[in-house]
Amino acid sequence: MSSQLLEKVSGSAQKDITVLEQKIEQFHQGTIPEDRFKAYRLTRGVYGQRQIGVQMIRIKIPYGKLTGGQLVQIANISDEFSNGNLHATTRQNFQLHYVKLDDSPQVWSKLEEVGVTLRESCGNTVRNITASAKAGIDPDEPFDVSPYAESAFQYFLRNSVCQDMGRKIKPAFSSSEKDSAYTYIHDFGFIPRVENGEKGFKVVLGGGLGAQAMIAQTAYEFLPEDQLIPFMEATLRVFDRYGEREKRHKARMKYLLEVKKGLGIERLLSLIEEEKSGLPYKSYQIDPNILPETEIPEEKEITGSYFVDEVKYKEWLQTNVFEQKQKGYYGVNVKLQLGNISSVTARKFVDAIEGFVADDIRVTVNQGLQLKYARKDVLPYLFAKLDQLGLAETGFGSTADITACPGTDTCNLGVTNTTGISVELEKLIREEFPHLIKDSDINIKISGCMNSCGQHMIANIGFHGSSIKHGEFIVPALQVVIGGGVDQSGKGFIADKVIKLPTKRIPDAVRVLLNDFEANSTQGEYFNDFYQRQGKMYFYNLLKHLAELKTLNATEFIDWGHNDKFVPEIGVGECAGVSYDMVGTIVGDVEERIVFAQEGIEEGKYADSIYNSYSAFVIGAKALLLSKDIACNTHDKIITDFDEHYVKTGEFELDDDFRSTVLQINNTEPTELFANQYFKEAQQFLKKLMHVRSIQVEGNATLENKLVIDNFYKA
């Protein structure tokens, strides 16, 4: 890459991009195993897709906040390196597809020019921090959570504590008790509260979707605002040490909170408290002015003529526009079908809204866009301009606004098509149930597989990709789930799996469900209340006739958007799969952590240095344990087993036991003095490790690069 490109980005980003280029070259040369390279590129936002030879690039957009200039730059990059489409996700990111691996450093560099990053948008890291799109203008909010989300993003970006965890961590900030950010399905969830004039948060932990969805547990009813960052950091340290790593499907915060097989909430909170003495900050005051002050657009003369479809405009005002807490100003929601907007439309969109709304565009959790600070007198103009671009479709957030992941279009894990059925269902709602365009009580969400990128388990009516065997053929199917979402009080629910149906029968299933609700619900009854009143078996029996396979016709063996009979083609996901590694390579990881620890001391980042020294101890112990075929599924177990199999046997000499040596990190202030002491101890540990390893392989050269074939090496 030209040095001219890198001159425009920050020093830390320059280093990231340069190293990514180097790693790509080493991968091409075969000096980095594919699985190791995959783990590296994922934390840099480069994700493999279904089509061979191209990547999906996930752009990290904290709490969905973009300027017009940033959106234009993403559109330009899409033209140059992708297919001209921008895909908004349920985690408020944008994704670009069909990008060549070798182009990813240039993509990253061009994004950094406008202050946007790829770092830690994928992989076993703290993922994008989401928040209610209404934050800052929500009439129900006690205060704006945007500065808190921004502070958390900045603090944990490139933070050594969360670079190589067992799995991903997803945080979310709601703007109010109504929980429009779905905090209840996140690893960290924060809901703003004020007690006795003090700002703080209700904190929930361990929510998650996927194959086994769980509702987050309450950790604190009120946590003072200055404890937000220390609490998150201490929790991440506990998760890093005690989290499962061998069984990838169990390596999430939600399983750590299980009472029988995990730590349970009380034990977890106790361990979090124990970590706090070793944190760099016991209190971390959030700067409420960390974000630039929103520039409210001045009155602007509208020149030229424009046409307003009065009937559509009236409906648009009802469904896509709301008055902000700042009286006289309005938020405008923009519906994007399937979360997609073309690069051409994105540029025209930014040009049309410039000067009429604040330069603060938010990507919403239902894959749309939100504008802020529109004056009442400019709403007709905004509508007309959006309508010209096809961006004034009514029914934002309604039953006719269906959330869907890309499914089999691009994802390796997709089982069935999501995009075709989503378009079909939106058409059905608009044609047969037009009154539901104004109804936000019934939401429909679709995922291509059970992993729930389309968040089907928090839908009132949801679907995820599946299949049904019928004789010698496989029928494309969708699992129907019902009863998820957030009720009027902000309480969250996980949907129940009800029945599996052929995909081509899903429109009929939706007709049956909506007609039955309208015929049998009581006056003013919400859909989820109706579901709870009737019970799961009622809905199973209601839809059972659609599961009858004897009546299948030829078209039902073909998935939406396809012409040939359905053949399941599920690839290996980028966050799972068996990994192959060598003990010698793992020892190399220890040396890398030692280098990082030294850099931390030189840069005055003592907490970072200390955590990298800690990682060097644990990874080194892991390497020697694996040389004896001892499984390593958590850091805590590695520490225990190393004492048992090496220190107590005298094979590895230490002045103290290994646990006491390593866990000095828990009870010692992260000062320059301790950082240097701990670093020197880690250096000495590496020196002894190399000596013990040389004795192990002496006379048995095959042990030098002993192959580890399993997941447990990942700990």
A 10 A CB-CB count for 37 gives: 18
What integer pLDDT is reported at residue 367 of this predicted model? 97
pLDDT computed for residue 403 by the predictor:
96
Beta bridge partners of 375: 329
- pLDDT the model gives residue 713: 41
Q: DSSP character for 1? A: -
Q: What distance in Å separates the CA atoms of residue 614 and residue 554, rounded to the nearest whole number? A: 60
All residues at 6 or more sequence positions from 469 whose CB lies less than 8 Å from its CB, including other chains: 475
Those residues whose C-beta lies under 8 Å from the C-beta of residue 530, and which sit 6 or more positions away, are 517, 520, 521, 522
The pLDDT value given to residue 300: 83
Nearest Cα to 184, choosing from 398, 487, 536?
A: 487
- Residue 247's pLDDT is what? 80
Domains and CATH numbers, the chain: 3-112 (3.90.480.20), 130-278 (3.30.413.10), 310-388 (3.90.480.10), 403-557 (3.30.413.10), 580-714 (1.20.120.330)
Residues comprising the chain, all counted: 715
- Per the rule left: phi > 0, alpha: psi between -120 and 50, beta: everything else, 516 is alpha
What local confidence, expressed as pLDDT, does residue 699 receive? Answer: 61
Helix (H) or strand (E) holding 375: strand 369-375
Q: Cα separations (Å) of 164 from 36, 192, 243, 255, 588?
A: 12, 30, 12, 18, 15
List the one residue out of 381, 385, 373, 383 whose CA is nearest residue 317.
Answer: 383
**Residue spans of the chain under pLDDT 50:** 576-580, 709-715
Residue-level pLDDT at 245:
85
Phi and psi of 674, rounded to 5°? -70, -40
CA nearest neighbour of 390 among 337, 319, 311: 337
Measured in whole angstroms, how far is the alpha carbon of residue 291 from the centre of its chain? 23
Give the list of residues 6+ apart from residue 699 with CB closer than 8 angstroms, or none. Answer: none
| Residue 263: per-residue pLDDT | 93
